[in-house]
Amino acid sequence: MYKKVVLISIIVLFAWIWKDYKKIDTSFVNQSSITYSYDNLNSNIIKKIHNYLNIKYENFLYDNNEIHKNYWNIENKSKRASLDYYKYIEVEKNYTETNKIISNTGVNWIRSHGNSSSNRFSSLSEINRENAKNLKVAWTFEHDGFADDIQANPIVVEGIIYTPIAGGYIAAINGEDGKIKWKSEQYGYFVARRGLLYHKDEDQKPKLYFSNRERLICIYTDDGKPCDNFGKKGQVRSGLNVMTPVIYKDNIIIVTWDHAVEVYDKNNGKIKWKLKYKKKIKKRIGGKQFINDGYNPWGGISIDNERGLLYLTTGNPHSYFDGTLRPGKNPFSDSIIAIDLTKKKILWSFQETSHDIWNSDLPAPPILTAIKKNNKFIDIVLTPTKRANTIILDRVTGKPIFEFRLRKVPTSKIKGEKTSPYQPDLIIPEPFGYNEFFKNDFWSYDNEKLNDIYSKYKNHKVGFYNTYELNKKNLQYNFNGGAEWMGASVDHSKQIMYVTSNNIPWETSVEQIEDKSTKIPYYSSSFERALDDLDFPITKPPWGTITSINLNNGKIIWQIPFGEYEYLAEKGIEATGTENFGGVTGTEGGILIATGTLDKKLYVYNSLDGSELYSYELPYIGSAPPTTYMANGKQYIITHATGGRTLMQGYPDLVETGNAIVAFTLN
Helix/strand/coil (H/E/C) assignment for every residue in 129-152: CCCHHHCEEEEEEECCCCCCCCCC
Q: Is the pLDDT of residue 45 over 90?
A: no
Rounded to whole angstroms, how far apart are CA atoms 254 and 87? 36
Q: In the predicted model, what is the mean pLDDT of residues 645-650? A: 92
Give the model's pLDDT for residue 13. Answer: 60
pLDDT-wise least confident of 22-26, 213-217, 394-398, 468-472: 22-26
Q: Given the DSSP bridges, would you call strands 213-220 and 612-617 parallel, antiparallel or unpaired? A: unpaired
Q: Is the pLDDT of residue 367 over 70?
A: yes
Quote the pTM value.
0.96
Tell me the β-bridge partners of 163: 171
Q: In the predicted model, what is the mean pLDDT of residues 454-481? A: 96
pLDDT-wise least confident of 56-65, 394-403, 410-419, 615-624: 56-65
Give the model's pLDDT for residue 41. Answer: 74
Give the model's pLDDT for residue 576. Answer: 97
Higher pLDDT, 391 or 54: 391
Residues in the chain: 667
Higher pLDDT, 12 or 349: 349
Q: Is the pLDDT of residue 426 over 80?
A: yes
Containing 34, the helix (H) or strand (E) segment is strand 34-36
Rounded to whole angstroms, how far apart are CA atoms 158 and 523? 54
Confidence of residue 597 (pLDDT cuts 50, 70, 90): very high
Rounded to whole angstroms, how far apart are CA atoms 394 and 345? 18
Contacts of 61 (CB under 8 A, 6+ apart): 68, 284, 287
Tell me the CA distances in angstroms from 607 to 37, 132, 370, 576, 591, one per residue in order: 52, 12, 19, 20, 5
Task: Look at residue 277 and give its three-state secondary structure.
Answer: coil
Arithmetic mean of pLDDT over the chain: 95
Report the candidate in 92, 93, 91, 94 with the shortest Cα–Cα distance to residue 426: 91
Rounded to whole angstroms, how far apart are CA atoms 572 and 436? 28
Give the model's pLDDT for residue 424. Answer: 98
Give the model's pLDDT for residue 644. Answer: 85
Contacts of 571 (CB under 8 A, 6+ apart): 445
Report the candidate in 575, 636, 656, 98 with the shortest Cα–Cα distance to residue 378: 98
pLDDT in tens, 146-167: 999 999 999 999 999 999 999 9
Greatest Cα-to-Cα distance within the chain, rounded to the nearest angstrom: 94
> Phi, psi (5° rounding) for residue 38?
-60, -35
Q: In the predicted model, what is the mean pLDDT of residues 584-608? A: 98
Give the model's pLDDT for residue 443. Answer: 97
Confidence of residue 11 (pLDDT cuts 50, 70, 90): confident
Tell me the CA distances in angstroms from 305 to 147, 250, 340, one per residue in order: 38, 12, 11
Higher pLDDT, 14 or 387: 387
Confidence of residue 16 (pLDDT cuts 50, 70, 90): low
∠ CA 225-231-235, rounded to 5°: 55
Give the model's pLDDT for residue 667. Answer: 82
Confidence of residue 548 (pLDDT cuts 50, 70, 90): very high
Q: Is the pLDDT of residue 481 over 70?
A: yes
The residue type at 354? S
The share of the chain scoring above pLDDT 70, in percent, equals 98
Rounded to whole angstroms, how far apart are CA atoms 498 and 114? 15
Rounded to whole angstroms, how far apart are CA atoms 121 and 491? 6
Q: In the predicted model, what is the mean pLDDT of residues 580-590? A: 98
What radius of gyration do the chain's Cα atoms show?
26
Q: Is the pLDDT of residue 6 over 70?
A: no
The residue type at 169? Y
Confidence of residue 9 (pLDDT cuts 50, 70, 90): low
The residue type at 585? T
Q: In the predicted model, what is the mean pLDDT of residues 33-37? A: 78
Q: Is the pLDDT of residue 47 over 90?
A: no
Q: Is the pLDDT of residue 508 over 80?
A: yes
Kindly compute the dihedral angle of the four CA atoms of residues 538, 539, 542, 544, in this order, to the nearest 10 degrees.
Answer: -60
Give the model's pLDDT for residue 507. Answer: 98
Rounded to whole angstroms, how far apart are CA atoms 558 and 542? 14
pLDDT-wise least confident of 22-31, 249-258, 260-269: 22-31
Q: Is the pLDDT of residue 626 over 90?
A: yes
pLDDT in tens, 260-312: 999 999 999 999 999 999 988 989 999 999 998 999 999 999 999 999 999 99
Q: In the predicted model, what is the mean pLDDT of residues 395-415? A: 97
Q: Is the pLDDT of residue 138 over 80?
A: yes
Q: In the predicted model, what is the mean pLDDT of residues 518-522? A: 89
pLDDT in tens, 309-348: 999 999 999 989 999 999 999 999 999 999 999 999 999 9
pLDDT in tens, 164-212: 999 999 999 999 999 999 999 999 999 999 999 999 998 899 999 999 9
